[in-house]
């Protein structure tokens, strides 16, 4: 029977009255997959026929006509090219679907009637004592079965329009096709069927706002996936010649940031995903770029194949025709070109992420100083989680209390918080660094076991796998917490023991309420052998101080948060493929997209996407748990009026705050092969980065202004707080939540994130920002190991950037300061003379080589170039605290361990993250790291070297709070540090306080490190004297005698050490540049570290 005759017969049949149902059942078992989860369409889409192709003059067969169909669903628009024959196939498929549904319904009706009359399975039989429900067993007289398919008469008119001329046939066919579309697009049940979704090329991912606009979708054939167990007998692509036993049909969904593969359009479980990332340049020519997708020439012309290559992955895909191949290749390559992301092109600093906040896109940041402030904010965010929590860190302790005293905050223990959210349905994904156990005692295996026992919604992976990857030396060093893709936390703080601290930096806790058990932590004295009994003390609180911990963390909202989440998803998926490729409990994840509207609709149109009810996907679905709609910012490109400063008078000019980056990066020895994307910046004749595109420089200067025009993104600023001009609290540990420009930077490579080349954007950012600095640079870091140009050992060039910038300032006779705060000694176990302290000594060696020893050190190089004025430009410091142990115990001291990874430039730019200043963190190919460059766009009045200066709200407040803590200033004294470079601040306050504190500690404790101990022999002598005098000592000689004896005018005067220590102001002390100057601190041949690669230490 021909298609036309079949449709005609069906048309006649469809007009016959439907027979009465023989059942009164209210339950229907649907074979349609839409009943298993949320529908694709929550309301009816609209479609119009844009055009109809004209067949040749001699051929007016309606089945050969092609239609361009424009479809719109809410704010999403797309076009389809369909032939009339495809519509007929759709109609037949809908007819088949309706018949199957009707057949299954009648089966259920018969089964229920048999039960009702007492025949068959009696599980559902009603007995006399039961209450009857006549409503539940009524006959459906509404003829609902008729509405499961489109009448055949509508389809018949498509293939048999009235005869006439060529134009007449096309016009009538257009009307007929529009009529047919109106039939099935007017029925929500039909629209949500698998058949119509395939026809419209939509899926459950199509309209999820967090994944971006709808691009291309269709069936493709893949070869790289394991055998898919089909839920139905779905057919393959139209022609069987493309198939063999190895190729499988999947539904491909292209989004701006990834290409995802599902089993079918109504599925929600990812089979695979390619997350787009920076592509390398071709080695043939510097201008030729490698494309993300490329057409392949097969030896069999019937095989229509193309390849998608990104990171360390390359997969082959097939489709039904060469034209489809071209469409897919074009669509994929175009999707990564669109601003602002352009994921396959490097942005400023060579970063995977574009600068955010250039327009009002909801980019905000907030800083936290020390663990108390940061952990409380993280706990609050976790408590508010609605859908998803992502965590990764170098070390994670499930029993960590995020609030203290711990007895009053039992619910704030990390595992308790995660358990509570997991029981609410929040999906939790945790990546742990898998350490080499003989080198580190962080016991990630125990942490994983504890976390997996919490709830099935908690998924945990440890990576890397040392044996398969061959990675033993490098670590995953990021510290990230992401909640609902709405807020993220990054910085120096791991969620582990020893990190919680307050502004007082106490060295004791006699009550055991603040630092219980193993949280009373001093890795210099001892590392616990086991973390399993966390409430059991490892250190004797009566004899040893804890080591106070200083750190800086930050929170990000808006697009920067989603960039951090994208980095996490890349790492998670890479770990999944290498560690758990066949574990269904470990899903692949998809990155969220920054919805930029209007990029596919006019601004004049009403934007109501957040008024729509969110789709309620099953929590077990792996597409993504849905974040609340108000947490998805609406990003409208506006003409932002931003400001910056004229160099001559400190006044503001209107041009991009994201302006010059590094001048001439050719001296970077570890040069990346990628170049920044042209859309992000322009170059002058010398290759210097000048301007972010879209914001033009203005020659007009004037007073500082920053307009805040109301916009449709104003709602973002009102989330959890109303918009207000928050005054700066100059001594707070929590900064103001500030609108700013942010760019995420990182260190990753093939082993850590699956990228095809190392990204060292943190390194580039450091060098660039130092080069751009106008007045001062303030650095806090756990390590400071870097090299000058020509250094063949140390490859990062942060030191070279500092050296050149200071020489420039000296040549121009301008005031310029560099202040660097470091740990006084590396925070690893062992006394400096102990046999097991080779790691401590090795790191000290490379650090002193950077600072002051050897021809490549910065102080010796500057002294050779500018002489004794070196310390006018650069100086080094540490932090130290003291206190009395339990009861009447002795006064003790410990260094305050500087663990922050921070740089502040000119009180306008801050770099915060997890990266240390060493090759491990900065080269990209070693440790994985994450960071953010935060550039202020809101300003306050300040001064720089006695002249008016507009300081950034974020960076300025952060520096004031840090300095007030380090210097021990009261609130009324903060005005003394408003100007960071003036002599009255730098020399008379900062340097003077550090020197006075250093002398007091030397008089009371004679603690190490200090400038009077030049060799290990002298160190042994001092250690012996301290033990003999005090009965015992700490690893830093940090125990004071009961009485201090000093001589004045020939008399011995006895004083209480605590009276002398009361003169200490804050925590700032001088860094001991002369300590162990006579020793070669590198590992010796009899030490195990001698046989390890020296790259491990720097």
**Residues with catalytic roles:** 477, 479, 484, 899, 901, 906
Question: Strand, helix or coil at 791?
Answer: coil
Peptide bond just before 458 cis, omega within 30 deg: no
CA 223, distance to chain mean position in Å, is 31
Tokens representing 924?
Answer: 């990209």
What CA–CA distances, in Å, run from 169 to 47, 176, 231, 515, 973? Answer: 21, 10, 42, 84, 88
Greatest CA separation for the chain:
127
Are 173 and 158 in contact by the 8 Å Cβ rule? The answer is: yes
- 12: closest CA among 218, 153, 180, 192? 153
Structure tokens, 948:
């008016």
Q: Which residues contact 886 (CB under 8 A, 6 or more apart)?
A: 508, 510, 541, 542
Helices marked H in 633-784: 714-717, 750-753, 761-772
Contact 940, 745 (CB under 8 A): no
Tell me how far apart the alpha carbons of residues 873 and 818 are, in angstroms, rounded to a whole number.
Answer: 6
- φ, ψ of residue 739 to 5 degrees: the values are -70, 135
Identify the H or E element spanning 804. Answer: helix 798-812
Structure-block tokens of residue 138: 């009524």
Q: Are strands 458-463 and 427-433 parallel, antiparallel or unpaired?
A: parallel
Q: Using the CB atoms, write b or e for 590-622: b if 16+ within 10 Å.
A: bbbbbbbbeeebeeeeeeebeeeebbebeeebb
Residues shown for the chain: 1098
CA separation for the pair 159, 975 (Å, rounded): 84
Q: Let me know: does 974 contact 960? Beta carbons within 8 Å.
A: yes
Record the tokens describing residue 215, joined without a space. 């691009």
> How does DSSP assign 154-174, residue by residue?
HHHHHHSPPP--HHHHHHHHH
Q: Specify the long-range contacts of residues 128-136, CB closer than 8 Å, at least 24 apart.
A: 135/26, 136/24, 136/25, 136/26
Closest CA to 473 of 438, 523, 430: 438
Q: Is the link from the previous residue into 464 a cis peptide, with omega within 30 of 0? A: yes
- Contact between residue 1005 and residue 999 where contact means Cβ atoms under 8 Å apart: no
Residue 290: closest CA among 298, 299, 282: 282
> From CA 374, how far away is CA 403, in angstroms rounded?
10
Residues 6+ apart with CB under 8 A from 157: 176, 179, 180
Place of tokens 């974020």: 954
Reading the block at residue 45, the tokens are 């889409």
- The answer to whether the beta carbons of residues 227 and 248 sit under 8 Å apart is yes
Contact 951, 774 (CB under 8 A): no
Between the alpha carbon of residue 929 and those of residues 188, 480, 749, 795, the distances in Å are 48, 10, 10, 17
Query: From CA 824, how far away is CA 821, in angstroms rounded?
Result: 9
Terminal C-alpha separation, the chain: 79
């Amino acid at each position: 029977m021909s298609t036309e005759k079949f449709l005609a017969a069906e048309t006649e049949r469809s007009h016959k009255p439907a027979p009465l149902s023989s059942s009164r059942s209210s339950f229907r078992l649907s074979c349609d997959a839409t009943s298993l989860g949320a529908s694709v369409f929550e309301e009816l889409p609209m479609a119009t026929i844009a055009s109809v192709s004209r067949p040749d003059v001699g051929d007016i067969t309606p089945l050969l006509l092609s239609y361009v169909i424009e479809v719109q669903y809410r704010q999403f628009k797309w076009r389809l090219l369909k032939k009339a024959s495809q519509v007929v196939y759709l109609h037949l498929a809908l007819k088949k679907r309706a018949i199957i549904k009707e057949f299954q319904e009648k089966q259920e009706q018969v089964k229920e009637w048999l039960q009702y009359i007492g025949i068959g399975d009696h599980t559902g039989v009603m007995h006399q004592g039961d209450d009857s429900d006549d409503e539940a067993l009524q006959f459906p007289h509404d003829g609902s079965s008729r509405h499961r398919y489109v009448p055949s008469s509508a389809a018949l008119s498509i293939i048999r329009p009235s005869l006439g001329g060529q134009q007449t046939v096309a016009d009538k066919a257009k009307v007929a096709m529009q009529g047919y579309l109106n039939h099935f697009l007017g029925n929500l049940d039909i629209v949500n069927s698998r058949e119509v979704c395939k026809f419209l090329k939509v899926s459950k991912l199509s309209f999820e706002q967090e994944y971006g606009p709808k691009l291309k979708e269709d069936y493709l054939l893949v070869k790289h996936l394991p055998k898919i167990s089909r839920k139905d007998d779905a057919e393959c692509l139209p022609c069987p010649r493309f198939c063999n036993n190895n190729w499988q049909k999947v539904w491909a969904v292209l989004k701006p940031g990834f290409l995802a593969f599902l089993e079918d359009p109504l599925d929600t479980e990812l089979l695979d995903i390619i997350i787009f990332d920076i592509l390398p340049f071709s080695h043939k020519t510097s201008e030729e770029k490698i494309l993300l997708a490329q057409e392949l020439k097969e030896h069999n012309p019937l095989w229509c194949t193309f390849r998608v290559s990104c990171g360390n992955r390359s997969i082959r895909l097939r489709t039904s025709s060469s034209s489809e191949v071209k469409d897919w290749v074009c669509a994929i390559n175009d999707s990564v070109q669109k601003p602002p992301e352009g994921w396959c092109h490097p942005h400023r600093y060579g970063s995977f992420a574009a600068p955010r906040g250039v327009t009002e896109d909801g980019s905000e940041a907030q800083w936290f100083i020390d663990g108390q402030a940061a952990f409380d904010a993280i706990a609050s965010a976790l408590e508010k989680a609605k859908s998803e929590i992502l965590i990764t860190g170098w070390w994670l302790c499930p029993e960590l209390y995020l609030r203290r005293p711990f007895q009053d905050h039992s619910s704030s223990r990390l595992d308790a918080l995660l358990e509570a959210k997991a029981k609410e349905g929040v999906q939790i994904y945790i990546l742990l660094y898998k350490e080499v156990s003989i080198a580190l005692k962080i016991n990630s295996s125990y942490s994983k076991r504890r976390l997996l026992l919490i709830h099935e919604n908690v998924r945990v992976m440890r990576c890397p796998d040392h044996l398969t990857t061959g990675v033993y030396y490098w670590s995953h060093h990021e510290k990230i917490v992401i909640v609902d893709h709405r807020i993220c936390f990054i910085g120096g703080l791991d969620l582990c023991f020893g990190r919680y601290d307050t502004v007082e930096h106490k060295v004791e806790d006699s009550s055991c309420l603040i630092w219980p058990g193993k949280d009373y932590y001093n890795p210099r004295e001892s590392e616990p052998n086991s973390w399993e009994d966390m409430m059991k003390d490892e250190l004797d609180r009566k004899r040893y101080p804890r080591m106070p911990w200083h750190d800086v963390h930050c929170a990000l909202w808006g697009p920067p948060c989603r960039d951090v989440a994208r980095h996490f998803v890349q790492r998670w998926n890479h770990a999944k493929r290498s560690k758990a490729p066949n574990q269904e409990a470990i899903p692949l994840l998809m990155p969220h997209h920054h919805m930029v509207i209007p990029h596919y609709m006019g601004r004049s149109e009403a934007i109501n996407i957040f008024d729509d009810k969110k789709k309620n996907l099953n929590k077990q679905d792996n597409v993504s748990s849905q974040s609340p709609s108000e947490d998805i910012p609406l990003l409208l490109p506006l003409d932002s009026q931003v400001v910056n400063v004229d160099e001559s008078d400190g006044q503001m000019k209107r041009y991009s705050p994201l302006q010059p980056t590094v001048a001439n990066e050719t001296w970077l020895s570890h040069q990346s092969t990628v170049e920044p994307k042209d859309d992000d910046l322009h170059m002058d004749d010398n290759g210097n980065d000048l301007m972010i595109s879209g914001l033009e420089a203005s020659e007009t200067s004037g007073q500082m202004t920053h307009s805040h025009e109301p916009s449709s993104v104003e709602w973002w600023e009102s989330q959890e707080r109303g918009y207000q001009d928050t005054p700066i609290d100059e001594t707070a540990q929590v900064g103001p939540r500030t609108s700013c420009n942010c760019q995420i930077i990182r260190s990753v490579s093939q082993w850590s994130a699956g990228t095809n080349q190392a990204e060292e954007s943190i390194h580039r950012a450091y060098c660039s920002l130092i080069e751009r600095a106008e007045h001062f640079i303030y650095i806090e870091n756990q390590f400071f190991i870097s090299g000058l140009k020509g250094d063949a050992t140390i490859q990062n060039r942060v030191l070279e950037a500092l050296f050149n910038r200071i020489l420039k300032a000296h040549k121009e006779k301008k005031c310029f300061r560099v202040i660097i705060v470091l740990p006084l000694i590396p925070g690893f176990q062992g006394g400096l003379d102990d046999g097991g302290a080779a790691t401590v000594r090795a790191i000290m060696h490379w650090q002193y080589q950077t600072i002051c020893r050897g021809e490549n050190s910065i102080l010796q190089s500057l002294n050779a170039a500018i002489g004794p004025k070196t310390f006018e430009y650069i100086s080094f410091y540490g932090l130290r605290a003291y206190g009395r142990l339990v009861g009447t115990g002795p006064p003790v001291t410990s260094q305050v361990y500087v663990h922050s990874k921070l740089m502040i430039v000119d009180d306008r730019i801050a770099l915060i993250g997890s990266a240390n200043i060493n090759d491990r963190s900065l080269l990209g190919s070693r440790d994985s790291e994450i960071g953010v460059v935060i550039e202020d766009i809101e300003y306050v009045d300040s001064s720089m070297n006695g002249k008016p200066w507009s300081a950034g709200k974020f960076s300025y407040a952060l520096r004031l709070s840090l300095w007030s803590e380090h210097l021990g200033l009261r609130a009324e004294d903060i005005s003394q540090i408003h100007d960071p470079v003036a002599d009255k601040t730098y020399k008379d306050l900062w340097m003077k306080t550090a020197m006075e504190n250093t002398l007091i500690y030397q008089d009371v404790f004679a603690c190490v490190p200090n400038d009077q101990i030049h060799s290990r022999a002298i160190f042994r002598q001092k250690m012996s004297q301290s033990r003999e005098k005090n009965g015992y000592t700490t690893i830093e000689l940090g125990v004071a005698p009961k009485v201090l004896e000093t001589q004045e005018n020939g008399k011995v005067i006895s004083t209480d050490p605590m009276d002398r220590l009361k003169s200490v102001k804050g925590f700032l002390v001088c860094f001991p540049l002369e300590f162990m100057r006579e020793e070669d601190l590198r590992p010796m041949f009899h030490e195990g570290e001698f046989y390890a690669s020296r790259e491990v230490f720097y």
